[in-house]
Structures are given as structure tokens and as C-alpha cells.
Structure 1
Amino acid sequence: MYRDTPDPWHLAERFYERRKYDLTVASLPLPRYRRAFEPACSVGELTVRLAERCEELVACDRVESAVATARERTAHLPHVDVRRLALPEEWPDGSFDLVVLSELLYYFDAPGLHEVLTRTAAALEPGGTLVTVHWNHPVPDHRGTGSTLAGTVASVPGLTPVADHREADFVLQVYARTGPDGSPAPSPAAREGLV
């Protein structure tokens, strides 16, 4: 798809995409993150928005031309590292306090999906945030929709639901990694002593 155009989904042009990205970033329960991971970053539209909230951001895609475009878009952001990685086989080292799985999970068969979600949970620090957002209409190349993936992600041990935003076109969910004692992360209001 990237052979004919650098942005096959017109991510920078569509109001739908811009709004979805803005909602994704607005759903983050913390004002700042130490180290984030965004696989399947495509051309870097969401990456640029996430970078505003992160001290360090590792973004990746499996398509080299998409990686090149994302690197170009984030060249002015020294704390963003865009890599060519193919998940789930290739995974960055270290842990993260934010992982964003956007428009990705429905490309995996059941074993691949299980591996990606297992690696995500293992790499997510206690109290860390997982955001998933996926198109909610059937597509021949997709092995599910936002609604069908929601139940799969919810079944991952160690994740507590924080937010669930559903529209006709996409499902956006936020999870917190439970602490070592099994306790959920405090809500934004609780963090500020409001409850």
C-alpha cells in the first residue's frame, strides 16, 4: 500500500483520523509519561501528538517507507526514536509506562494476538497505561473489529479497565497495569486528591 503513496490512509488529511488521535491523547490518564511505545506508528501522525506527553517515545512500523516518513515527521523531536520492527517477533528492550496499540491488533491471528498482548502486559510497568483503539467495521484483511478485540484485551491478566469509549466507527479503551499487590492505579481525580 505504501508503494503508491506515502500515506495510503490519508491520515493527515481526514477529520475522522485527526479527531480519533485527539481523543486517544485526551484519554491518557497521566499528564506525562516517562517512556512510551507505539507500535504500528505508520507515518507518525499519532506519534507527534504522543510525543508532547512523553519524555521518551519508541515508535515502530514494519514498513520501511512508513518508518522513513515517521522519522522525517519527528526529526525535530530528539526524544522520539522511530524504528523498523515487525511484531511480535521483534520487540524493543526495556519497560514502558505507556503502550498505545492503535489500528494494529486485528492484523494478528490468534497466536500472534496472544503473543502481542502477553508481551505488552509484561513490558508495561505497574501503574502504566495501555491504550487500544481500533476501527469497528468489518474489513476483509482484518481478523476482528474494535468490539471483538475489546473482549480479548479485557481478558489479559493484570490489566484494569480505566476508560471505554465506543462509537460506531471505533472503540477506544484505556487500561492500567495493576500494581504488585494487585491494586489498580489511582484515577486522575484520586491522584489530585479530589476523591
Structure 2
Amino acid sequence: MRLPDSYFHDMYAGNDDPWGFTSRWYEQRKYALTLAALTKPRYRSAFEPGCSIGVLSGGLATRCDRLMCTDVSPRAVDLARQRLTGHPHVDVRVGDIVADWPSKRFDLIVLSEVLYYLDRTALAELIARLPAALAPGGEVVAVHWRWPVDEYPQSGDDVHAALAESPMVASTSYSDTDFRLDVLHLSPERSVAQREGLVSS
């Protein structure tokens, strides 16, 4: 089963940075590589579900005209809003990655360390909605810790294997001992059909 919301509420109950986003070298290095992997210097609109306290969001904010960030934890959202105060074009709100997925399309969707919290059914449903959530020429960046964690339904490798079976294709892939990163686009044929209005996703 997917991790319940209470897991995240409990994590932030006694610690404003329970995963060490602001202090661990792993996180700093991952954020730098994630931002470096973006294929465009700037994006009109971006979406980052599971933004936590907004550390990666701060880097994304410098590359986007509009950025929507969500997290299931109200405490994490409060901390992210404080961190991103100097970026009025960033909208941070409480939201579940599955139940509260926005209806609009984005040029960039960033899925950083969030998909392994979902069970196989929820993951498959989310991956299936990604093509319709992308504006023409848009991209999805997915990056996850590779190794299994006992309480997580899936590993990062499981997640990226599922993404590899989606209608999207990877233009950039990177993996090392710690994490895997993929930049995904719609296949060229599907992108042309989407631009011409022949498909809805």
C-alpha cells in the first residue's frame, strides 16, 4: 500500500528538515545534477509535487516564469512558503500527489523522491496521466534514491523501470550508486499528434 499521510505528518512533527535536505551532501549534489539536467534555460510553467520544505523549489524558481509546488504536509508547506518568500511567481499549496493533481498542462514536471511512496496501482495511474499534463515540448524530470527502504512500497529502480514502460522516452538518463535521474519527453510521433490536436494526451 502507499504510505499514509500520517507518515509525513509524523516526520515533520519533531523536525523541520527530517531528511536533511539542507545539510546532506547527497541532497546538495542531487539538486545540482537535477537542475543541470534540465534541457532548457527557462520554462513558462512548472509543477513540483512533493516539494517538502522547498529546497529544490528554490532552484527551480530561478528557471521558471510560474512554479506550482505541493506537499501533503501542512508544516512542510509553511516552511516552503517561508523559504520561497522572495519568489512571488511560486504558488505553494497543500496537496496530495494523486488526489490533487492539477488539471492544467506544464512545460516541466519535477518528480523528485516522491514516486516510491506509491503502490504499483497508484504509480501506474500517475504515470498514465503524465502525457496529458505536459504542454507540447514539455518534459518530466524524475529522480529517486535507488535502494529499497523497508517502509516504502517501491524502490527508486522500481519507479524508473515503470517510467521506462510509459509512452514517454528518456532523452537523458543518469544513475550512480545512490540515485537515478531521467528526463522524459513524449515520443516524437506523439508530440506531433498532440500539437495538431489529434490526441488529448
Answer yes or no: same fold by TM over 0.5.
Answer: yes
**Equivalent position of 1:54 in the other structure:** 64
- TM-score, length of structure 1 as denominator length: 0.89
Number of aligned positions between the proteins: 182
Write out per-residue CA displacement over residues 105-139 of structure 1, whole angstroms, 9 at most, x where no aligned residue: 11111111112112222111121110000011110
Matches within 5 A, 1:16-165: 16-157=26-167, 159-165=168-174
Amino acid at match of 1:125: A
SS of residue in 2 equivalent to 1:122: helix
Q: TM-score, normalised by structure 2?
A: 0.87
Give the C-alpha shift of residue 19 in structure 1.
0.7
Higher alpha-carbon deviation: 55-64 or 145-154: 145-154
Change (3 A) 1:139 1:22: same
Contact 1:35–1:55 (CA under 8 A) maintained in structure 2: yes
Q: Is the 8 A contact 1:21 1:46 kept in 2?
A: yes
Shift of 1:73: 0.3
Q: Which position in structure 2 is the counterpart of 1:168? A: 177
Report the secondary structure of 1:68's partner residue: helix
Match of 1:7 in 2: 17
% of aligned pairs identical? 43
After superposition, the C-alpha distances for 1:122-160 in whole angstroms (9 at most, x for unaligned) are 111121110000011110122222222211001111x12
What amino acid sits opposite 1:162 in the alignment? S
> Unaligned stretches of 5+ in structure 2?
1-10, 193-201
Deviation at 1:179, TM superposition (A): 5.0
Q: Decide which moves more: 59-68 or 111-120.
A: 111-120
Give the structure with the larger helix fraction: 2
TM-fit CA distance, 1:181: 5.0
**Structure 2 counterpart SS, 1:150:** helix
- Residue 180 of structure 1 deviates from its aligned partner by 6.0
Q: Unaligned 5+ residue runs, structure 1?
A: 184-195
SS in 2 for 1:2: helix
Q: How does 1:180-191 map to 2 (within 5 A)?
A: 182=191
